[in-house]
């Protein structure tokens, strides 16, 4: 399974709970791309960060993010969902 999570460093305080619960109920072999506004040491080591430009519109951010995802099928989660 491949997961793409869209988030922002403003949400770093909930990442330990999110990633902890995700890893508790999912295989360690799950590939996790994290679309995030800037590099941060708060992401777990098994995540693949994809940086987006926070100053451009949301739809244009996806034009930056999608080419970085190599798989055609993935599960998408928005951090506020």
* pTM attached to this predicted model: 0.90
- Confidence band for 81, pLDDT divided at 50, 70 and 90: low
Cβ(37)–Cβ(45) below 8 Å:
no
Q: Looking at residue 79, what is its pLDDT?
A: 75
Query: pLDDT tens digits, residue range 11-38?
Result: 999 999 999 998 898 877 789 999 999 9
Query: pLDDT tens digits, residue range 40-62?
Result: 999 999 899 999 999 999 999 99
The answer on pLDDT for 80 being more than 80 is no
């Amino acid at each position: 399974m491949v997961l793409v999570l869209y988030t922002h460093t403003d949400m770093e305080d909930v990442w330990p709970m999110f990633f902890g619960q995700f890893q508790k109920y999912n295989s360690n072999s799950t590939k996790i791309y994290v679309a995030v506004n800037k590099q941060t040491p708060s992401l777990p080591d098994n995540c693949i960060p994809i940086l987006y430009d926070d100053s451009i519109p949301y739809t244009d951010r996806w034009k930056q993010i999608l080419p970085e995802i190599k798989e055609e099928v993935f599960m998408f989660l928005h951090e506020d969902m």
